[in-house]
């Protein structure tokens, strides 16, 4: 797993309080990991801070799964 993926996973695990092995490529934050809409906003905030990037609102809406997040951040960072 890439460095970015492991850092993203750490944030997701800590923020949503889920088991690490639940955070798979296609795991949806809301449907599979129990996030509510506010959690997804907070996750995006945490990603922005961890990676020093800005994630615009329209991009944030496309980040639905763990894989989406890793892909977006890999391209932006």
Partner 1 sequence: MFDLTGKAALVTGASGGIGGAVARALHARGAQVALSGTRVGPLEALRDELGDGAHVVACDLSDPASVEALPKAAAEAMGSVDILVNNAGITRDNLFMRMSDAEWQSVIDVNLTSTFRLCRGVLRGMMKARWGRIVNISSVVGATGNPGQGNYAAAKAGMVGMSKSLAYEVASRGITVNCVAPGFIETAMTDKLNDEQKAKILGQIPAGRMGSGEEIAAAVIYLASTEAGYVTGATLHINGGMAMI
SS3 category, 28: strand
In whole angstroms, what is the distance from residue 51 CA to residue 30 CA?
22
Distance of closest approach, residue 35 Cβ to partner 1, in angstroms:
12
Give yes or no: 36 in active site.
yes
Annotated catalytic residue within 36, 57, 58, 68: 36
Query: Among 19, 57, 32, 55, which residue's Cα sits nearest to residue 69?
Result: 55
Site for partner 1 in 15-74 (CB under 8 A): 38, 42, 45
Residues touching partner 1, count (CB under 8 A): 3
Dig out the tokens for 48 from the structure: 């922005």
Distance of closest approach, residue 21 Cβ to partner 1, in angstroms:
26
Residue 12 · residue 18 · CB < 8 Å: yes
Binding site for partner 1 (CB under 8 A): 38, 42, 45
**What is the set of active-site residues?**
36
């Amino acid at each position: 797993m890439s460095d970015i993926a492991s850092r993203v996973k750490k944030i997701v695990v800590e923020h949503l309080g889920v088991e690490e092995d639940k955070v798979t490529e296609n795991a949806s934050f809301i449907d599979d990991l129990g996030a509510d809409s506010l959690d997804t906003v907070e996750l995006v905030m945490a990603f922005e801070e961890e990676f020093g990037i800005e994630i615009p609102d329209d991009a944030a809406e496309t980040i639905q799964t763990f894989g989406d997040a890793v892909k977006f951040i890999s391209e932006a960072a």
